[in-house]
Amino acid sequence: MTRDRYEMVVGLEVHVQLKTRSKAFCGCSTDFGAAPNANTCPVCLALPGALPVLNEHAVQLAARAALGLGCTVNPISVFARKNYFYPDLPKGYQISQFDQPLATGGSIAIGKDDKGDDVRIGITRLHMEEDAGKSIHDRYTGATAIDLNRAGVPLIEIVSEPDMRSAGEAGSYLRTLKQILQYLDVSDVSMEEGSLRVDANISVRPPGQSKLGVKTEVKNMNSFSAVERALEAEYERQCALIDSGGAVQQQTLLWDGARGTVRPSRTKEGSHDYRYFPEPDLRPLILNPAWIDDARKNLAELPDARKKRVGAEFGLSSGELDQLMATPALVDYYEAVARQSGDGKGAYNWVMGEVSASLRASGEDITEFRVRPADLAQLLNLVRDGTISHTAAKRVFALMLETGKPAAQVAADERLVQVGDEGAIDAWVEEVLQEHPEEAKRYLAGEKKLQGVLVGFVMKKSKGRADPKRVNQLLSARAG
């Protein structure tokens, strides 16, 4: 097996777009979907004489991300120019950070190993930089169209240690990283929208060898699973190359998802000489240690901690928690319902059941969902105190969604409030027995399994209002 002879060694570079209103160095909007070059100004067009001024919120978000990844935020970091020519890079250099980045030395746990210990992936550094614009090659024949709306949007680059040993670990790292950044609310972290981009460095070596093999860089992956597939493909390619007596060459490769292969980028190797030097238009970024401490203290609860706490507070299983934790908004919603209803399990069933189904159907985001946590908690309370039946509750929920009215009002309006009155229920039982003489006869003759069917008939007749416990009691009494 290849896998026994060669170990895969992977490090990832992840670019994440920060959630700011304006660009990193100018007041242009970061909104997507504007007309081409509508969100541009002298600064991001690199007009002669324009100068950058750093966005405060971008610094806050970058520091928050760094602290959430366990990095040390450096009190002094320095912006540098990375020089290269490309038509969507207006200044001819990208403002980035080089030898003095914002943050260094973090790590995140991506799961447990066989012994139950955390598998941790080191974070080498996290630095701030600006995005380039967009080159559109397929719009016009013989010409490339340049849109600079994106130019200058703030990014962070998160560079991992070469700590991953399989494509699966790389996938886990990316999912964990994405979740942390989501919980810190620093980015939309969507690969589809381009707010998260991944480049992979991969090499192979015989197990037990500590020296790293020659690495290649793989780019152009548009999903986490594409990253995993690309790593597998490149691993196989490198192993086969070495097996056939060849040697891996340091180069940049592009993943071709349609063919499932990597191919060399046309960029000439050695033509990259970015001539980094400190950006003279900005002074060093100086962060007060007290400010950094504050940022650390005010950090949102990280996913691991939150999972533990929510699990303990509401008695959910790890599997249930994983579902709820899919997005911070979902678990926020859940926690609010669970806390206000005092029913963790019930809240879970509703949130993962009716609520999720409605959201899937409508494509809405939970933050915009019409039934707010307090409304749902009221509905849960009505079920628990017997005011409405579970069956009726689903109808009430649907009507709440439709009308926006609170649960109690919907239940009253639709006459769905449960009927506990013995006389009324007994009358429905009597009618059902009359209307279904065959089932009635067999049931009264001792065929107990028919009780469920008869309860169903009664519930239907009562339009769900009959208290099913009472119905059962009354039927059992008749059967003797």
Partner 1 sequence: MAVTRDDVFHIAELARLGIDDARADALTAELSSILAHMEVLSQVDTAQVPPAAGVGAGGTPLRPDATIAPLMEQTLESFAPSMRDGFFIVPRLATHEDSSESGA
Partner 2 sequence: MNVADYTRLGAAAISGKVRSGEVAPSDVVRAAFERAGEIGAGPDALNIFLHADEEACVTETKEVQQHLDTAADVGILAGVPVAIKDNIASLGLPTTCASRILGGYVSPFEATAVTRLRANGAIIIAKTNMDEFAMGSSTENSAFGPTRNPHDVRCVPGGSSGGSAAAVAAGITPIALGSETGGSVRQPAAFCGVVGVKPTYGRVSRYGLVAFASSLDQIGVLGRTVDDAAIGLEVIAGFDKADSTSSDADVPIYRVSALGKPAPEARHPDTEAMRIGRSPVPLPPPPDSTTLKGLVIGKPKEYFPESLDPSIRAHCERALDRFRSMGAVIRDVSLPRSPLAIPVYYVLAPAEASSNLARFDGVRYGLRVDPGKGLKSMYEATRSQGFGPEVTRRILLGTYVLSAGYYDAYYKKAQAVRTLIADDFRAVFASGVHAIFTPTTPTPAFPIGAISDPYEMYLNDIFTVTANLAGVPAISVPIGRVRRLPVGGQIIAAHFDEYTMFRVAYALEASLGAEAHQ
Site of interaction with partner 2 (CB under 8 A)? 42, 45-54, 81, 83, 85, 87, 90-93, 144, 146, 273, 275-277, 280-283
φ, ψ at 253 (rounded to 5°): -120, 150
User: Least distance from C-beta 55 to partner 2, angstroms?
Assistant: 12
Name, in order, each residue with C-beta under 8 angstroms of 319's C-beta and a sequence gap of 6 or more.
none
- Shortest gap between Cβ of 133 and partner 2 (angstroms)? 10
> Amino acid identity, residue 293?
D
By a kind-dependent CB cut-off of 5 to 8 A, residue 91 interacts, out of partner 2, partner 1, none, with partner 2
| Three-state SS letters, 154-174 | EEEEEEECCCECCHHHHHHHH
- Would you give the binding string for partner 1 spanning residues 152-181, x where CB under 8 A is met? ------------------------------
**What size, in residues, is the chain?**
480
Choose from partner 2, partner 1, none: what does 168 bind? Cβ within 5-8 Å by kind: none
CB of 275 to partner 2, least distance (A): 4
CB of 97 to partner 2, least distance (A): 15
192 binds partner 1 (CB under 8 A): no
Q: Which does 81 bind (CB under 5 to 8 A by kind): partner 2, partner 1, none?
A: partner 2
> What SS3 state is found at 379?
helix
Residue among 90 and 328 whose Cβ is closer to partner 2: 90
Contact 382/393 with Cβ under 8 angstroms?
yes
Using CB under 8 A as the binding rule, whether residue 36 contacts partner 1 is answered as yes
- Interatomic CA distance for residues 225 and 418, integer angstroms: 50
- Based on the shown chain and the rule CB under 8 A, indicate whether residue 294 belongs to the binding site for partner 1: no
Cβ distance 110 to 174 under 8 Å? no
Give 325's strand partners. Answer: none
Q: Give the one residue of 275, 415, 441, 442 binding partner 1; rule: CB under 8 A.
A: 275
d(C-alpha 359, C-alpha 118), whole Å: 34
Residue nearer to partner 1 on the CB measure, 135 or 317? 135
Contact partner at residue 277 from partner 2, partner 1, none, CB < 5 to 8 Å by partner kind: partner 2
Is 418:388 a contact under the CB 8 Å cutoff? yes
Structure tokens at 120: 């941790």
Q: CB nearer to partner 2: give 146 or 352.
A: 146
How many C-beta atoms lie closer than 10 Å to residue 473's C-beta?
Answer: 12
Q: Is the Cβ–Cβ distance between 186 and 59 less than 8 Å?
A: no
Closest distance of CB 84 from partner 2, Å? 9
450 vs 439: CA distance, rounded Å: 7
Least distance from C-beta 254 to partner 2, angstroms?
A: 19
For partner 2, which is the closer residue by CB, 191 or 282? Answer: 282
- Residue 50 binds which one of partner 1, partner 2, none, with CB within 5 to 8 A depending on kind? partner 2
Amino acid at 223: S
Any idea what DSSP says for residue 353? I
Binding mask 52-91 for partner 1 (x = CB under 8 A): -xxxxxxx----------------x-xx----xxxxxx--
15 binding partner (options partner 2, partner 1, none; Cβ < 5 to 8 Å by kind)? partner 1
What 3-state class would DSSP assign to 78?
Answer: coil
